């Protein structure tokens, strides 16, 4: 996700629609920790995000890890 001054408030994964557990989306601030800071998302996974949904919300852990098909 492209980092701006404020995080996107969208709390659903753009691939599967489940809760993305994004702490910045929940708190409205990039300050603090989030599960995604400990993960590297494969480029192939990122390519599956529809163009219209890119840079609008974070993936959920399951999709980001490549577990979801």
pLDDT along the chain (69 residues), means of 10: 72 94 92 89 94 91 86
| Residue 67, pLDDT score | 84
Instruction: For residue 67, give both structure tokens.
Output: 């577990």
Q: For the whole prediction, is pTM greater than 0.85?
A: no
Name the nearest CA neighbour of 64 among 34, 40, 37, 47.
40
Predicted pLDDT at 44: 94
Return the pLDDT at 28: 92
Q: Look at residue 68 in the predicted model and tell me its pLDDT.
A: 73
| pLDDT at site 11 | 92
């Amino acid at each position: 996700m492209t980092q701006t001054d404020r995080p996107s408030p969208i709390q659903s994964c753009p691939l599967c629609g489940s809760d993305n557990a994004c702490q910045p989306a929940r708190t409205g601030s990039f300050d603090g920790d989030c599960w995604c800071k400990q993960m590297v998302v494969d480029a192939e996974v990122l390519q599956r995000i529809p163009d219209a949904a890119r840079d609008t919300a974070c993936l959920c852990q399951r999709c980001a890890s490549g577990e979801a098909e």
